[in-house]
Amino acid sequence: MTARLKGAVIGCGFFAQNHLYGWADLDDVEIVAVCDLDEAKARLAAERFGIARVYTSAETLFATEALDFVDIPTTMETHEALTALAFAHGVPVILQKPFAPDLDGCRRIVAAAGAANVPLMIHEDFRFQNLFRTVRGILDSGELGRLTFGRLSWRTGIDVYSNQPYLVHVKRFMIMDVGIHLLDLARFLFGEANGVFCRTQQIKEGIAGEDAATILLSHEQGATSILDFSYATRRDPDPFPQTLGEIEGTEGTLVIGADQVLTVHGKGGTRRIPVPQDGRAWTSAPWTQIQDSVVHTQRHFIDSLRRGTEPATSGRDSLATYALLEAAYLSAASGRLIHPDRLV
């Protein structure tokens, strides 16, 4: 076996637990250190995952460890400073979404990675779900013909605020938190977008930002897509965290149904495709789909490092996703159609 790559995880909070389980599933990777400002969280992670060393300072971590990569699943306001440290030490980075608080921040991080010649990938996991890998394969087969329309719908009423309390206070909330995943998916499935129209809504009282949004995108290759997402949808069963929808082409339609079932209406008739989950020991409903995708995202990052190739959601590539996000907020504020290429 090729030598195991040695990594560290900075930030051992809520979602990092999935990262830590994910890394443990990759045979050719070893997490040698964890770091959190909160020592108790770092110690707990180290004990749970058998990780040798614990830090409460990222500066000390980088000064002490010889790392092949670092995983940073902290919230966005910490990303610029933490990535700057990694780049200064020549350590490749996989960084959780959202990339940074604004597009200028994303640009500065990408420029710093470029100047240091250090790989940077954004941990954007929706496109790495088994479901969307299968959808991509169907689109690549040409069965649907030329794509004309797509709808990606993500609506839930779960209490997201218990696990992620910081979401109560953010002014740019739902597009930053979930819309960004759907914008990346829209690029993955329908290609680049050159027009963005958006309406946001704040439905729950007492929060600082929007908890529902609807975005309309025009794609360069001709398709129109609609992304609708909400944390204020009452439905039983609640589909969290599934993305539902449909994709239409000149030759057929693909329906993205609940419970990872795709239905293809093509020239040869209709067929149902249940998409399996990985069956990992540590995953659990309703998170399984996302938890599986975390490992696929990590696998892609490690494979890209080993091959010396740019990852699919590199920092550079993710600027285009982030430009769509900025365009969506601008559109919602102005009531106008925004051209994202003028923002990048």
- Relative to beta strand 244-249, strand 147-155 is antiparallel
- Evaluate the CA torsion angle 35, 83, 63, 33 in order and state its sign: positive
* Residue span 33-52 as binding mask against ligand NAD, x where in contact by CB under 6 A, dash where not: --xxxx--x-----------
**Could you tell me the two tokens for 305?**
């490092």
Could you tell me if 157 and 128 are in contact, meaning their C-beta atoms sit under 8 angstroms apart?
A: no
32: closest CA among 3, 60, 2, 4? 4
* Residue span 63-102 as binding mask against ligand NAD, x where in contact by CB under 6 A, dash where not: ----------xxxx-x---x-------------xxx----
Window contacting ligand NAD (CB under 6 A); options: 8-16, 62-70, 151-159, 249-257: 8-16
Q: Which residues bind ligand 89Y (CB under 6 A)?
A: 160, 164, 177-178, 241
CB of 97 to ligand NAD, least distance (A): 6
Candidate residues 13, 157, 209, 252; the one interacting with ligand NAD per rule CB under 6 A = 13
Those residues whose C-beta lies under 8 Å from the C-beta of residue 301, and which sit 6 or more positions away, are 69, 94, 121, 123, 311
Q: Is 242 in the site for ligand NAD (CB under 6 A)?
A: no
The one of ligand NAD, ligand 89Y, none whose footprint includes residue 179, by CB under 5 to 8 A per kind, is: none
Q: Is 10 in the site for ligand NAD (CB under 6 A)?
A: yes
Window contacting ligand NAD (CB under 6 A); options: 31-39, 87-95, 150-158, 199-207: 31-39
Q: What's the rounded Cα separation, in Å, for the pair 83 and 311?
A: 17
Those residues whose C-beta lies under 8 Å from the C-beta of residue 197, and which sit 6 or more positions away, are 215, 216, 331, 336, 337, 338
Q: Where are the beta strands (DSSP E) in 202-315?
A: 212-219, 224-230, 244-249, 253-256, 261-266, 269-274
Q: Is 12 in the site for ligand NAD (CB under 6 A)?
A: yes
Q: Is 300 in the site for ligand NAD (CB under 6 A)?
A: no
Chain residues that interact with ligand NAD, rule: CB under 6 A: 10-16, 35-38, 41, 58, 73-76, 78, 82, 96-98, 125, 164, 177, 290
